[in-house]
Structure 1
Amino acid sequence: MPFVEQRGSKHRVKWWAGEYLDSGKKKYESESGFDDYDSAYDYGLDREYEVRHGTHLRKSSGDLLFKDYSLPVWLPDQDLRPSSLKTYQSMIKGQINPQWGRRRVGEIDIPEYIAWRNQLNQKAAAGELSRTYVTDILMVFSMMMSDAVERYKLRKTVPMPPATPRRGKYVKKPRKVKKPLAMAPVYQLAVNAYVVWGFTGWAYIWHAAFAGMRPAEMYGLQKQYSSPNWPDTEPDGKLRQDAQERYAKTPATRVQYQHQWVNGRMALVDPKYDSHRTLVLPPFLAKIHEEQAAAHASPWLFPAMNGGPLLGTRFEQSYWHPIRDGSPAREARRDYARPAIPAVKEFAELPIYRLRHWMKECLDEEGHSEVAVETRMGHELAGVKGLYSNLTLKMEADIIESQQERWDGFQRAAGGLWMPPVPSSLPVDLSTEGESQLKGPDGLPLY
């Protein structure tokens, strides 16, 4: 039973916390400041009820500072990929700890959370933070608070208010509108990439546009997992045998890894969502792969300009931006000069990820099955549809046929396009090839 004693004009109550001291004696907790005996006694009874039913939180639990909980306790317990851990750590250090780090975990309440959430939303509205970034910050904080309640028993409830039914007029969330893309801008990107990066750039753009691999997956694509070497070079014996039977007459590339920084070092890790998959290649892309693989000695299919891994470069600034945004002519510097590169206005401000999305748009437009498209993208279909679906050889053959027809149709409509010469491992000067050869489907110069 709780014990109540009077302290001056107030009352204090003590109750057994359900634990024992090292000496074997019962450990008691107390609370002061009650105006009368009954309220103090009732408070003690409530705490003892919680102890009996296993819902009691030690009074000292919520005293843990948030900064001593977030990174030292919570983050190491998360079973996440290295890239996700790095992202979470960045959000905690940059946004969450500066707000809550010096507060006790058990003190954070709903009004304070709402005020912080509104502050973040205002920054998003003003363009100081992206809307997606704000959503991710709130998601991580919500997970931390949920774990503080359920896993670590540091507080009884979360400080996020419960969801309430929507009221008022429905307002559709803004969504960036994607403009349809034709083949000509993709071709110009490939030409620009050849100027910047040699045949590797040419191959990289077409692979991104027709294989649809994620950038980190392309960074980690090795020759042994790419046509024409794979599947004969597949180290897994069972997978090699199955793939040799299935793809005996069909060029294919295996998505086995992505290349990422892990604890400050480059590492090959599993693809996002463990989306290991095999991508069949249309004949034109298979030929580009074969030429690319024979053009250099690097184990990477798409090596950087210095022959090393792309992960070690400033890809956005040194590769993608001049390919996308163009670049003025450059005089000979070290090994080569570079002619002026035209901007591709259809890709203005867009990430290279847009090529992956373009591939999906093309496949959807051509009427391929959802399972074929999503499998090629590295996605899983949810629910019963995903459980009973299966990627068949006919589906893969249809993708090859439609992609090859898209390539051939563009070539026919253009009436002759510039194509790169024998692969070169270094960027080359295209000025001697004649700008008039860069023609679009209407037969006129592209840019």
Structure 2
Amino acid sequence: MGYVHDLWYKKGPAGRKVQTKYHGKGKRWQARWETPDGEPKTRLFEKQVDAQKHVTKMDHAVLAGDYLDPEAGKVKVGDFALKTWLPAQDIKGRTEIEYRGVLDRYLIPEWGRRQIRTIKPSEAKAWQALLASKYELTGTTPNRVARHVRSVFRLAVFDKAIRASPFEGIKAPTLTETKVYPPDVAEARQIIAAAYTALWRAMFEVCALTGLRSGELRGMRLEKFDALRMAYRVDQQLVYERGKGMYLDDLKTGAGKRVLPLNRRAVDVIAAYVAGHPPPKNGPWAGLIFAMPGGKPIGESTIDWAIKQTCRYAKTEARHLHELRHHYASVLIAGGESPSVVQQRLGHKDVLTTLRIYSHLFNEAKETTRNVLDAAWAIPSKDEKRLASVTKIT
């Protein structure tokens, strides 16, 4: 338990008070206590009663598990974001670059040199408004940027650097999802046919038939491909980490790990490509289905460039690889698959993510259902005609 120490006097012979070397210099009363980790802490006060109140407050906070280190909140926002929050996200490659970019562009220029405890709710609300007014962000970007920054302060609360986040009670920017308009089957076929190597042709078609993410597609392994059961086990992806290069890493989320059913065309495309281009048998890339000449893995920028070049050859709209993933989703939706099934096939973390991205496609599918019903019931049956004539007579 903490206690109060008199800096001006100490006990002398026969219990008499003796002046110390600090007598008359600065504040007299020193509050002493220990943090939950056993680290000694002190603070000076002019009055004994104020020092005792502070010790009581600190002891109560330690016992209640609500202790807040007065020094922790003095850390600079930029230092906490880069040295504590970013490493805690356990992200690598392109995602780490994206998160670091958010901090460098939108957080650090505004608050980087401020103590984290000094940010007020009014400033947090004003900062969110700047995302649209000053930085001119649109679509889903304001919500995504704000989500990362709000997470920085949420972690500061968990670490007991601050008692409450300045964003507490402040609504995040509205998530306005940009509608996706993926290539239809005809356009997807056109892109695949225009691919200028067997590698790109196979990869683009597999992506359109499976909806795999770029890292999942580029990290496909032969051992996870089951031609007999027509399935592929998705539990790894190819990632890039600065200073380490490319390597295969396990998927982080349970939703991302999935057994993906393959149609006959996908099985045939993969099997034919493997037969003509056997994967490496040894080394770190053993079993990698899609690789560059020499067995090296394919970088994300390489395949992005390849599909853009292919779209030019095909004379179609410029597309990104991710749009072939959207194409896969659109085919499932048009075929009547439920949102939960689409979520599972794509490896989304929850069905709300699926609905947010593809809500307009589900609505279009509903309208198609109505049109089918209208067409089927457009010509009255003989019983309906008889019923209508009876109704008129009545």
- TM-score, structure 1 length as denominator? 0.60
In structure 1, list runs of 5 or more residues that go unmatched. 4-10, 32-39, 229-247, 327-340, 384-447
Instruction: Decide whether aligned partners of structure 1 residues 44 and 131 sit closer, same or farther in structure 2, where only a CA change above 3 A counts.
Output: farther
2:307 and 2:125 map into 1 onto residues whose CA distance is: 40
Map 1:180-195 to 2 at 5 A: 181-193=183-195
**Cα drift, residue 119 of structure 1:** 1.6
- Find 2:81's aligned residue among 65, 70, 74: 70
**Structure 2 residue 235 is matched with structure 1 residue 266:** no
**Structure 2 residue 132 is matched with structure 1 residue 121:** yes
**Structure 2 residue 306 is matched with structure 1 residue 304:** no
**Cα drift, residue 252 of structure 1:** 2.5
Instruction: Decide whether aligned partners of structure 1 residues 281 and 71 sit closer, same or farther in structure 2, where only a CA change above 3 A counts.
Output: same
SS for the counterpart of 2:129 is helix
Partner of 1:253: 232
Q: Is the 8 A contact 1:83 1:261 kept in 2?
A: yes
Q: Percent identity?
A: 22
Q: Is the 8 A contact 1:50 1:56 kept in 2?
A: no
1:81 and 1:254 map into 2 onto residues whose CA distance is: 22
What amino acid does structure 2 have at the position aligned with 1:289? I
**Cα drift, residue 58 of structure 1:** 4.2
Instruction: Decide whether aligned partners of structure 1 residues 172 and 147 sit closer, same or farther in structure 2, where only a CA change above 3 A counts.
Output: closer
Q: Can you list the C-alpha shifts for 1:230-286, whole angstroms capped at 9, x where unaligned?
A: xxxxxxxxxxxxxxxxxx4x3332223110013432110123524222223222322
2:246 and 2:182 map into 1 onto residues whose CA distance is: 36
SS for the counterpart of 2:163 is coil
Instruction: Decide whether aligned partners of structure 1 residues 96 and 42 sit closer, same or farther in structure 2, where only a CA change above 3 A counts.
Output: farther
Larger Rg: 2
Partner of 2:148: 140
**Structure 2 residue 170 is matched with structure 1 residue 163:** yes
**Structure 2 residue 86 is matched with structure 1 residue 99:** no
**Cα drift, residue 62 of structure 1:** 2.5
**Structure 2 residue 354 is matched with structure 1 residue 354:** no
1:25 and 1:281 map into 2 onto residues whose CA distance is: 62
Q: Is the 8 A contact 1:17 1:58 kept in 2?
A: no
Partner of 1:315: 303
Map 1:142-291 to 2 at 5 A: 142-151=150-159, 153-163=160-170, 174-179=176-181, 181-193=183-195, 196=196, 198-226=197-225, 228=227, 248=228, 250-264=229-243, 265-271=245-251, 273-274=253-254, 275-291=256-272
Partner of 1:28: 43
Q: Is the 8 A contact 1:29 1:59 kept in 2?
A: no
1:252 and 1:161 map into 2 onto residues whose CA distance is: 45
Instruction: Decide whether aligned partners of structure 1 residues 25 and 177 sit closer, same or farther in structure 2, where only a CA change above 3 A counts.
Output: closer
**CA RMSD between the two structures:** 3.7
SS for the counterpart of 1:310 is coil
Q: Can you list the C-alpha shifts for 1:53-81, whole angstroms capped at 9, x where unaligned?
A: 21554443322223332222333344456
**Structure 2 residue 51 is matched with structure 1 residue 51:** no
- TM-score, structure 2 length as denominator? 0.67
Instruction: Decide whether aligned partners of structure 1 residues 138 and 42 sit closer, same or farther in structure 2, where only a CA change above 3 A counts.
Output: farther
Partner of 1:294: 275
In structure 2, list runs of 5 or more residues that go unmatched. 6-25, 281-287, 353-394
1:117 and 1:26 map into 2 onto residues whose CA distance is: 37
What amino acid does structure 1 have at the position aligned with 2:302? R
Map 1:379-394 to 2 at 5 A: 379=348
Farther-moved stretch of structure 1 (179-188 vs 284-293): 179-188
**Cα drift, residue 213 of structure 1:** 0.8
2:350 and 2:122 map into 1 onto residues whose CA distance is: 39
What amino acid does structure 2 have at the position aligned with 1:260? V
- Find 1:342's aligned residue among 314, 319, 323: 314
Instruction: Decide whether aligned partners of structure 1 residues 190 and 205 sit closer, same or farther in structure 2, where only a CA change above 3 A counts.
Output: same
What amino acid does structure 2 have at the position aligned with 1:207? V
Q: Is the 8 A contact 2:194 2:310 kept in 1?
A: yes
2:257 and 2:234 map into 1 onto residues whose CA distance is: 5
What amino acid does structure 2 have at the position aligned with 1:122? S
2:102 and 2:350 map into 1 onto residues whose CA distance is: 30
SS for the counterpart of 1:52 is helix
Instruction: Decide whether aligned partners of structure 1 residues 379 and 114 sit closer, same or farther in structure 2, where only a CA change above 3 A counts.
Output: closer
SS for the counterpart of 2:169 is coil
Q: Is the 8 A contact 1:221 1:258 kept in 2?
A: yes
1:57 and 1:278 map into 2 onto residues whose CA distance is: 46
